A and B are shown apart, each in its own frame.
Chain A
Amino acid sequence: EVQLVQSGAEVKKPGESLKISCKGSGYSFTSYWIGWVRQMPGKGLEWMGIIYPGDSDTRYSPSFQGQVTISADKSISTAYLQWSSLKASDTAMYYCARWATAVAGTPFFDYWGQGTLVTVSS
């Protein structure tokens, strides 16, 4: 069974650093891209970026480039999303999801983590 299990909720102060995780199981972790999606309170889904754990090729949405770092450790089938200096506006739910490709070549997120709630408040 394919599963993505994310780390637990975090409460941080502005300016602090944070790294959240997403552990994959039940499939070849190095063969699928993993993406990160932000959902601010009461708002929609925003594409943040994506990583291929096989070679750590990483692409970012321009909106998030330089604001976060996406990484992966294939030895433990885990992807990460990290901040070096959090802001109150980073308060949101963050989802990881597996980016799969249909036979016809059209990609989609087929499995999602349960989400990690990050709260940044002084």
Chain B
Amino acid sequence: DIQMTQSPSSLSASVGDRVTITCRASQSISSYLNWYQQKPGKAPKLLIYAASSLQSGVPSRFSGSGSGTDFTLTISSLQPEDFATYYCQQSYSTLFMYTFGQGTKLEIK
């Protein structure tokens, strides 16, 4: 099965900062990569699909890039509501095994 590794596991940043989170797949997954945001006590929310497509209603300060094995989620200017945990997920598997990364917790500095 395909393993997904995120880095860093946690990150401290300030409002207004530009932040980048990385996700690496154990094999090529083309652009079959999604990003979700989860706030405490809430269900995850889809931010980015197909590596770089912004889900409807998601602010444009969020962007995704990459293909193959290396992907990034960038928040161009952090807002207070962006402090949350972010997960990548591969949707490439032909075995219906759509694994998540371990998560990156974004905290206020």
Contact = CB atoms under 8 A, between A and B. Distances in A.
Interface of A: 35, 37, 44-47, 49-50, 59, 61-62, 95, 97, 102, 104, 106-110, 112-115
B49 interface: yes
B87 A59 contact: no
B11 to A, nearest CB: 15
A108 B34 CA distance: 7
Interface residues of B, number: 26
B1 interface: yes
Given A106-B32, A106-B91, A44 B100 contact: yes
Given A44-B87, A108-B49, A115 B43 contact: yes
Given A45-B36, A59-B95, 19 more contacts: A45-B38, A45-B87, A45-B89, A45-B100, A47-B98, A47-B99, A50-B98, A59-B96, A97-B43, A102-B49, A102-B50, A102-B53, A107-B32, A108-B34, A108-B49, A109-B34, A109-B44, A110-B55, A115-B43
27 contacts: A35-B98, A37-B44, A37-B100, A44-B102, A44-B103, A45-B36, A45-B38, A47-B99, A47-B100, A62-B97, A95-B43, A95-B44, A97-B44, A104-B50, A106-B49, A107-B32, A107-B98, A108-B49, A108-B50, A108-B89, A109-B44, A109-B46, A110-B55, A112-B44, A113-B43, A114-B43, A115-B43
B8 to A, nearest CB: 14
B39 interface: no
Contacts, number: 66
B46 A110 contact: yes
Contacts of B103: 44-45
Most buried by B among A49, A112, A114: A112
A115 to B, nearest CB: 6
Contacts of B53: 102
B61 interface: no
Contact of B44 (A45, A50, A62): A45
A108 B46 contact: yes
A15 B89 CA distance: 33
Contacts of A106: 31-32, 34, 49-50, 91
